[in-house]
Structure 1
């Protein structure tokens, strides 16, 4: 709390934007909920546009955790209003960097000498700027091209303020979804974001995921350069590529979209279902591509947000995914029940909506999803939620859900007619066949302690 009041202006400015934004939507929700009055599409569009622009201005000005939230929203082209997606997509790579003199001072403090003495060459203009830091290209004295990510000096204080606001917002948003424990999600995200401030931890996970994905063809993870890595600076080899969502450059490089989607899904299926260790922040700014003689290569960047799943939980995740692929409702319910999502009493109540979800949505593409009656589906889901004790979201699944959400948005942006579920099916089945996953869930020996999350 003491840090928060060092920047009272930040706290007040966030509230000045977020409170009116919240009540804009609350008013429309209440009109429908309490009086049964629908809102015309043009009114919704105006509210979306005004709210998205206000949030974008706030995030760019305040930086910190607000940009992280905006990046997640901007990737959900399949479910978010286009006004929000268009406005917040600028947060992926249009955030203004800090001046070079500020960054040079930070580098000198962290590395013990001015950067021009340590590197053969370093570019003063940032190649990317994000919520917690910015990236500069440099050349080592041995000729290797590297990327230097430098953390902003005041980011810890800003993040503490943002997390306080998010914590205050949790009970407000729980009014809309009273039986979903948003506090669990908040606690996991809080742990993830605060851990992301330690770049030494990020370096460890960069090495780990790089080793794990070494057997997956056409996937690149940068290598850490230890000599120039500290708690607030991380140095990695540089990947010469472009954002995965840049359609013009993909076409010029002769990269096939479906092939790219398959490689991306294979990389994440391997992390989810084989390794149990995954980068949980796959927004477009962290996914680069380039053409090659043997096909396109995908580079995964930024391992500040990594999740390590407990072994037992990972097995349940594999079994739930395989049951979904096979439309095995009983198997799916058994797996999610063992995860602790539903109580035994609630299983039969939830079964009809799960069955309908399997029947209606299994083969849908993102384009198809936009054509379904969302209000009808929401009412059916709400009718089930109203009758059960509550949906518990285990902390181990929060960042997994976040990664799936971001990945789905990226795939929808690449080709809205591709069904990522069907593309992933053979990869998930392959994971099930591995000896460590093949045994039935009944052989699990209870819950394992939760692994640390890094985000």
Structure 2
């Protein structure tokens, strides 16, 4: 879809952001979950081991569906937390349950202008607001805020203002405590895994995403670092109108990645876009140690202009997070080990980031090694253990046919049953979120690319510096 007018959706006239209101809603969810869990546990007393395994899987799937149905009615951190749980859920939930969690999308119903207008007025004050003219109909809505087209006196450009929903920042801590109770009652998480680290990470991420001052800082950094790369466009901020609750920036038009105009680009053009996406990821992680970890398709637009090659518009830097240099170096060892089929390098790197321990049994280590080899398939055309049909004669990978993260997920699901399984470090979760997003983007674009030189060069910059 291009940036032309979108059909209007019904708007919410009120937001349920007060902790007491939200807690009452989720308390009702919790009571129901507890009763269903008790009934399920009673039923298991009369089931065989195989029957219990199947019944437990079916129970989790039903509970996750109920969880999603309820969260879908609430804005703010609970919906966003549900989305984030899908990232972690792949490590311990049935694939069917993860798919249900992933249905909590950000393209949600918007709230009425009367709800967000007070945020703009109180944040900017009358003097600044008198110069700003905002279209009350939003152009995009998400779980934590929405965006509107705007005009500023003395500025001929079309602008975009992103506004945080009132009260969502203050509801995060209460929401996460309630979700923790629901997860325990719903028995979503295996007993040997503590959900607290998971919930702490989601809480931290949510506070970061509702801090628009943080997002503005990240936007400036990316705009500065990509200023000399003509393949990318980053919005320009209007600094006098950026606060912790709203951001005013240039409106950057472009086509959706899913639009017909992008799908019908030539193979050469789509390959060039895919190369740009991959090289951007390498720059972010290996060079800058600063990664925009949300690969949602809505965060990208493709600028199509007759006189220039297609360009990528980058939007929404709220999920940007820093990675410690020692983590980047250890992860680079893992990737190089996977490319070179060096199990010890992979295991050493995994121990270096706290994902494994040297005392783990050899089969556990080798399961992890095989998972990394699976993820590295696109960069291993010369190895005998990869699928030859995935590569063209020149070594280019057929990204549209790639399913390496799906296959790796199957290995993870089996590994999660082990008593040696550890919840991956928070950095891994969000890094793999973005890396999987890059793979999916290249697949969506139907790229046929050999990206080994780019990845090997990035690894060398880290490991041979």
TM-score (norm 2): 0.74
Out of 383, 393, 400, the position equivalent to 2:424 is 393
SS at match of 1:323: helix
Pair 1:337-2:368 in alignment: no
5 Å-filtered alignment, 1:33-432, equals: 34-36=49-51, 54-55=66-67, 57-69=69-81, 71=83, 91-93=105-107, 95-113=108-126, 117-119=130-132, 121-141=133-153, 142-169=155-182, 176-177=189-190, 180=193, 182-244=195-257, 246-251=258-263, 256-292=269-305, 293-346=307-360, 348-357=362-371, 362-363=376-377, 368=403, 377=411, 381=415, 385-386=418-419, 388=420, 390-391=421-422, 393-411=424-442, 413-415=444-446, 424-432=451-459
* Larger RCO, structures 1/2 (Cα 8 Å, 6+ apart): 1
Q: How many Å apart are 1:281 and its aligned residue?
A: 1.4
In structure 2, distance between residues paired with 1:171 and 1:429 = 44
Q: How many Å apart are 1:395 and its aligned residue?
A: 3.8
Q: Is the 8 A contact 2:347 2:369 kept in 1?
A: no
Deviation per CA, 1:179-229, whole angstroms, max 9, x where unpaired?
555432322221121132221121111111222333544122212211111
Higher mean Cα deviation, 340-349 or 23-32?
23-32
Query: Larger % of helix: which?
Result: 1
For structure 2, the 5+ residue unaligned runs are 1-17, 378-386, 388-398
Q: Number of aligned pairs? A: 420
Deviation per CA, 1:261-299, whole angstroms, max 9, x where unpaired?
332222122111111001111211212222234322222
For structure 1, the 5+ residue unaligned runs are 440-455
In structure 1, distance between residues paired with 2:39 and 2:439 = 28
In structure 1, distance between residues paired with 2:373 and 2:309 = 36
Q: Is the 8 A contact 1:203 1:234 kept in 2?
A: yes
Aligned in 2, Cα 1:372/1:187: closer, same or farther, shift over 3 Å? Answer: closer
Q: How many Å apart are 1:30 and its aligned residue?
A: 11
In structure 1, distance between residues paired with 2:264 and 2:442 = 20
Aligned in 2, Cα 1:180/1:212: closer, same or farther, shift over 3 Å? Answer: farther
TM-score (norm 1): 0.76
In structure 2, distance between residues paired with 1:286 and 1:307 = 16
Higher mean Cα deviation, 63-72 or 261-270?
63-72
SS at match of 2:143: coil
Q: Is the 8 A contact 1:289 1:299 kept in 2?
A: yes
Aligned in 2, Cα 1:313/1:226: closer, same or farther, shift over 3 Å? Answer: same
In structure 2, distance between residues paired with 1:295 and 1:27 = 63
In structure 1, distance between residues paired with 2:169 and 2:247 = 17
In structure 2, distance between residues paired with 1:28 and 1:409 = 41
- Structure 2 counterpart of 1:438: 464
Aligned in 2, Cα 1:17/1:70: closer, same or farther, shift over 3 Å? Answer: farther
Higher mean Cα deviation, 401-410 or 217-226?
401-410
In structure 2, distance between residues paired with 1:148 and 1:405 = 30
